[in-house]
Chain A
Amino acid sequence: MKRPFKTRIKTLKIDGIDVGAREDETILELAQENGIFIPTLCHLEGVHDVGSCRLCLVEVKGSNKLFPSCMTYAEEGMEVITNSERLQTYRRQVLDLLFSERNHVCAVCVSNGNCELQWMAGKLGITHVGVPYLYPQLAVDASHPYYAHDPNRCILCTRCVRVCDEIEGAHTWDVMGRGVDCQIISDLNEPWGLAESCTRCGKCVQVCPTGALFTKGKAVAEMKKRHEFLPYLRSMREGRNE
């Protein structure tokens, strides 16, 4: 949900580096432009942000609060710290919680080697999970002719929900339930293969960061997801609308 902005230029500091920004740019976008790494799992260029994974939290000088960089806009004179010890600890804890929530055993996952969660754990130096596993037993849905949905691998980033609604316009996916019982569902919690609204476009599969949505019949090594199409699609559409 972008606020209406008049485009003005702001100058601020990220990790001590002076940067200039349009005021409709988020801290995350700015950091990426300037080659500063901020981890995130729910952000996806091309769809709106929800700020739910809490990995991209950053500190802003003068405030005790932490800010989700994907939804915090550049402001004049801001001093942003993206990688303090405190933030690193919290990020590792967030990953701990994600690993403990469902069943993320990489060795038996189709996305092994191509998984953003796995990559992120490596990047942030997770060697073990500090909390007990919850291991719910969730049924895999393989009713779709081309794809399959394994909720055991899902981290509820809702990228699939957003891409299906905002880009494809089908809104096959949504979240049901509440709290730890939340699950991604298609239509009225029906098997994906029976969901009338699904156009079989496969965008959701391409944007899924883990092995929760995958293409059937592909070997583990081929399971590479491509979401470069998204910004491209969006800029093409915006161009058409102008």
Chain B
Amino acid sequence: MFNKLEEIALEERGKAEQYTHTINVCTAAGCASSQSDAVKEALENEVRNHGVEKWCRVRGTGCMGLCAAGPLVAVEPEKPDEVLYQYVKVEDAGDIVASLEDKPVERLRCSTDIPFFTRQKKIALENSGYIDPESIEEYIARDGYSALMKAITEMAPSDVIDEIVASGLRGRGGGGYPTGLKWTTVAKSDGDTKYIICNADEGDPGAFMDRSVLESDPHRVLEGMAIAGYAVGASQGYVYVRGEYPLAVARLKTAIRQARRANMLGSGIGGTLFNFHIDIRLGAGAFVCGEETALIASIEGKRGQPRPRPPYPAEFGLWGKPTLINNVETLSSIAPIIRNGGDWYAQIGTATSKGTKVFALAGSINNTGLIEVPMGTTINDIIYEIGGGVSGGGQCKAIQTGGPSGGCIPADYFDTPVDYESLAKLGSIMGSGGMIVMDESSSMVDVARFFMEFCMTESCGRCVPCRVGTVHMYNILDKFSHHEATPRDLVLLEKLCDMVRNTSLCGLGQTAPNPVLSTLRYFRNEYVEHMVTETNGSGPVTKQMEVAQ
């Protein structure tokens, strides 16, 4: 069977060698929304018009990262001399094709020598932008499914878990729970039937890592799930994906079909006795379904309301069976770990946070897009080096990480290395990887209100503190943003934060106060400035007040 994989890989590589040039066009959602499909079509036409289709091919690939400069087109002659073009328009297609045997088109060129590219280390995203996400052959040609074959033919399930434990990989969905430990628990749980769930319900506003992986390299997620299934003894997996991501769903469906045909999913995978099936379940627009127990309820066809844990899904999950739930990025890191060994992965990163992390850079930053950096990279490096600094030349005031469960980190702390512990110490969380950059014009009270509005409308309504507490907190923050709040409101707000955080049933409620608490911690003066104003005839005057710390 190994041979069969190798055959496909060889054939695919041979096919690639027929072409001296490959033009890659990004067709992930970011570039697709700036009409990259039309660009791809124009390039195909031009290739035919120039009569170079014998040695030049045009491919649609996944995300190349620099979404701000889309549509992106990369011309691959012999690496490393890849040429990247930015802001490509349909009209530019002719010039690009005409330049293939000549010098690149300088006016469109995007340097790949900038820190945005050189400072990254791609593991989860290693194939993104280099393969056609709708071709299993191209995935296999880049060592795809070799980790799965290695696991099921050469390793015992416990060996697989040992590698994951050795890698030090931690959950990339936000919590940072050690992945190896989770796998061990599920593997040890009694029961013949177990389930693997891939949590692709990426709900944090401002985060699009999971979508990008699913759109750019869906097979990698399937391979990770199958390896997990082998390790813990499950034969059925579900991908719970947001209904708002139609392209990701379509590519996943294609990938599952292809993998089944290639015998990398289904019964008797790769000629062994291992069976693993994957089905897709669509989310329907509920942020709370990113919470494990709510996600399970949703797969069971119910209202996505969480239940108290314990029992944890690892023991009592989907339909009461032991269930392993991992996030997309976590599962994308599995195959490379099995291929290269856990120790290899553990060399990257910091003492407690191993490996790399994908971030979605957005907001007031020049290089918006998707990046993957080793854990421990400082925020400064991410914002100013890789991100290219604040857009419009302004000053960066703070970054927001972790979405509605996270917090704001002020510019004074930008020399902090990014890892789970350091961010938690600053009152934020790693979260799933959204990183929103805010310049001086952003009001922190407004940011806190924005996230509280989010939590209020996304609260499932089951427990009292979250259902009613978020409404009161939102109302108070709204008073602040209209300069109508009093010192008493601030006291009440802090009391509510403490109460909701400690008494809510699930993670959504427990973390809902975080954006408020972190902005209160670093930008308390803004709250004070937003307190009640008195008009003295000539307009509002802010009344400064002493507030009990």
| Contact between chain A and chain B defined by CB under 8 Å | yes
Q: Which residues of A contact B (CB under 8 A)?
A: 1, 3, 50-54, 57, 66, 68, 71, 89-90, 93-94, 97-98, 100-101, 130-132, 134, 155-156, 175, 177-182
Q: Does B464 contact A (CB under 8 A)?
A: yes
Closest CB in chain A relative to B478 CB, distance in Å: 12
A155 to B462, CA, bound (A): 11
Evaluate contact between B461 and A130: CB separation under 8 angstroms: no
Contact of B471 among A89, A130, A134, A175 (CB under 8 A): A134
Contact of A51 among B307, B457, B475, B499 (CB under 8 A): B307
Given the contacts A1-B307, A51-B307, A100-B468, A94 and B461 also touching, CB distance less than 8 Å? no
- List chain A residues, Cβ under 8 A from B315: 3
Total inter-chain residue pairs, C-beta < 8 Å: 94
What residue in chain B is nearest A180 (Cβ atoms)? B471
Those of B462-490 within 8 Å (CB) of chain A: 462-465, 467-472, 475
A221 to B307, CA, bound (A): 37
- List chain A residues, Cβ under 8 A from B462: 50, 52
Q: Does B458 contact A (CB under 8 A)?
A: yes
- List chain B residues, Cβ under 8 A from A89: 499
Q: Which residues of B contact A (CB under 8 A)?
A: 286, 303, 307-308, 311, 315-316, 320, 456-465, 467-472, 475, 492, 495-496, 499, 502-505
Evaluate contact between B465 and A54: CB separation under 8 angstroms: yes
Evaluate contact between A98 and B464: CB separation under 8 angstroms: yes
- List chain B residues, Cβ under 8 A from A178: 286, 457-461
Closest CB in chain A relative to B310 CB, distance in Å: 8
- List chain B residues, Cβ under 8 A from A54: 463-465, 503-505
Q: List 20 A-B contacts (CB under 8 A).
A: A1-B307, A3-B315, A52-B462, A52-B464, A54-B465, A66-B502, A90-B503, A93-B465, A93-B495, A98-B464, A101-B468, A130-B492, A131-B472, A177-B461, A178-B461, A179-B456, A179-B459, A180-B456, A180-B468, A182-B467
- List chain A residues, Cβ under 8 A from B505: 51-52, 54, 68
8 closest A-B pairs by beta carbon, nearest first, are A182-B461, A97-B468, A179-B459, A51-B308, A93-B499, A101-B468, A179-B461, A54-B503
Evaluate contact between A180 and B503: CB separation under 8 angstroms: no
What residue in chain A is nearest B469 (Cβ atoms)? A97
What would 6 more interface pairs be, CB under 8 Å, given A71-B308, A178-B457, A178-B458? Answer: A3-B316, A90-B499, A93-B499, A94-B464, A97-B464, A156-B461
A15 to B503, CA, bound (A): 20
A89 to B311, CA, bound (A): 27
What residue in chain A is nearest B465 (Cβ atoms)? A54
- List chain A residues, Cβ under 8 A from B457: 178-179
- List chain B residues, Cβ under 8 A from A94: 464-465, 499, 503
- List chain A residues, Cβ under 8 A from B492: 130-131
Closest CB in chain A relative to B215 CB, distance in Å: 28
What residue in chain B is nearest A130 (Cβ atoms)? B492
Evaluate contact between A3 and B467: CB separation under 8 angstroms: no
A189 to B449, CA, bound (A): 32
Closest CB in chain B relative to A185 CB, distance in Å: 12
Given the contacts A3-B316, A54-B503, A179 and B472 also touching, CB distance less than 8 Å? no
- List chain A residues, Cβ under 8 A from B503: 54, 57, 66, 90, 93-94
What residue in chain A is nearest B474 (Cβ atoms)? A180
A37 to B435, CA, bound (A): 47
A180 to B470, CA, bound (A): 9
Determine which residue in B468, B502, B505 has the highest number of CB atoms from chain A within 10 A of its CB, and name it: B468
- List chain A residues, Cβ under 8 A from B307: 1, 50-51
